[in-house]
């Protein structure tokens, strides 16, 4: 490289490439993500946990620009702490999603990050919200990130209403595995977070333990 000694990642923004997915079941939600962070063609972190806690029972999945997504998650984490002290109880998932949506919408021209907010609250049980570019919509499941394009067909075909917790977790793991195989910006390990009335369970599934499909 005689013409350019400066590495591309100094000029390229660090993106989380990514595949993220959130799905609700009766009694809770399951959030899943891959772990690859890229800057241009270089992988700068192969084990990043993109499932960021906003509150005890509310998590968000990060995608898009790493700096924008991390900053949004940290700001909303702070705002939710204040809000939950003000109301004197655990915040609703809709409140968390609204705070994320307010930032996404106000700075929609400057930011390029998409957060999927999911969690459990007493009033409405498990909920998943998508907040891209400033919209707020509750969905039974949501996928996001560059890898999601490759698995829309799979999730649309395989999703059924009324799946159990184990079935949801398997669904998430299968989706992540398929997306990570096809998307260059997704890879590494899979992180799964299951949130329900009793608590939050975080799990890591290493590369060699991911489900394999016909071509492996």
Active-site residue numbers? 18
Residue 67 found at the interface with another protein (CB under 8 A): yes
What does 192-212 look like in DSSP terms, one character per residue?
Answer: EEEEETTEEEEEEE-GGGS--
**Degrees (nearest 5) of the Cα angle 168, 128, 176?**
45
Residue 101 structure tokens: 């949506």
- Which stretch, 10-18, 94-102, 171-179, 184-192, contacts another protein (CB under 8 A)? 10-18
Residue 5 found at the interface with another protein (CB under 8 A): yes
Nearer to another protein by Cβ, of 5 and 82: the residue is: 5
- Considering only residues 99 to 158 of the shown chain, the ones binding another protein according to CB under 8 A are 110
- Considering only residues 26 to 65 of the shown chain, the ones binding another protein according to CB under 8 A are 37, 39, 42, 44-45, 47-48, 65
**At its nearest, how many Å lie between another protein and the CB of residue 54?**
17
Contacts 24+ apart (CB under 8 A), 159-168: 159/23, 162/26, 163/23, 163/25, 164/25, 165/25, 165/27, 165/28, 165/30, 165/194, 165/196, 167/25, 168/23, 168/25, 168/30
Residue 1 found at the interface with another protein (CB under 8 A): yes
Kindly give the residue spans of alpha helices, DSSP state H, lying in 36-164.
66-87, 93-106, 152-158
Nearer to another protein by Cβ, of 46 and 83: the residue is: 46
Nearer to another protein by Cβ, of 71 and 170: the residue is: 71
Where along the sequence are the contacts to another protein (CB under 8 A)?
Answer: 1-2, 5-7, 9-10, 13-14, 37, 39, 42, 44-45, 47-48, 65-71, 110
């Amino acid at each position: 490289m005689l013409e350019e000694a400066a590495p591309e990642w100094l000029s390229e923004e660090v993106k989380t490439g990514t595949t993220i997915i959130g799905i609700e079941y009766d009694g809770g939600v399951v959030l899943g993500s891959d772990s690859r962070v890229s800057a241009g063609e270089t992988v700068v972190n192969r084990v990043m946990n993109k499932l960021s806690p906003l509150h005890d029972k509310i998590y968000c999945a990060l995608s898009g620009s790493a700096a924008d997504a991390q900053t949004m998650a940290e700001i909303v984490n702070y705002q939710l702490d204040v809000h939950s002290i003000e109301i004197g109880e655990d915040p609703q998932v809709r409140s968390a999603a609204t705070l994320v949506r307010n930032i996404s919408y106000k700075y929609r021209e400057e930011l390029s990050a998409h957060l999927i907010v999911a969690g459990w609250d007493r009033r409405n049980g498990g909920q998943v919200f998508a907040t891209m570019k400033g919209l707020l919509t509750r969905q039974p499941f949501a996928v996001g990130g560059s890898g999601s394009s490759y698995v829309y067909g799979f999730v649309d075909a395989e999703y059924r209403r009324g799946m159990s917790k184990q079935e949801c977790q398997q669904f998430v793991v299968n989706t992540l595995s398929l997306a990570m195989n096809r998307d260059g910006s997704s890879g590494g390990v899979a992180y799964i977070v299951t949130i329900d009335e009793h608590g939050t369970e975080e799990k890591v599934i290493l590369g060699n333990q991911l489900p394999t499909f016909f071509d492996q």
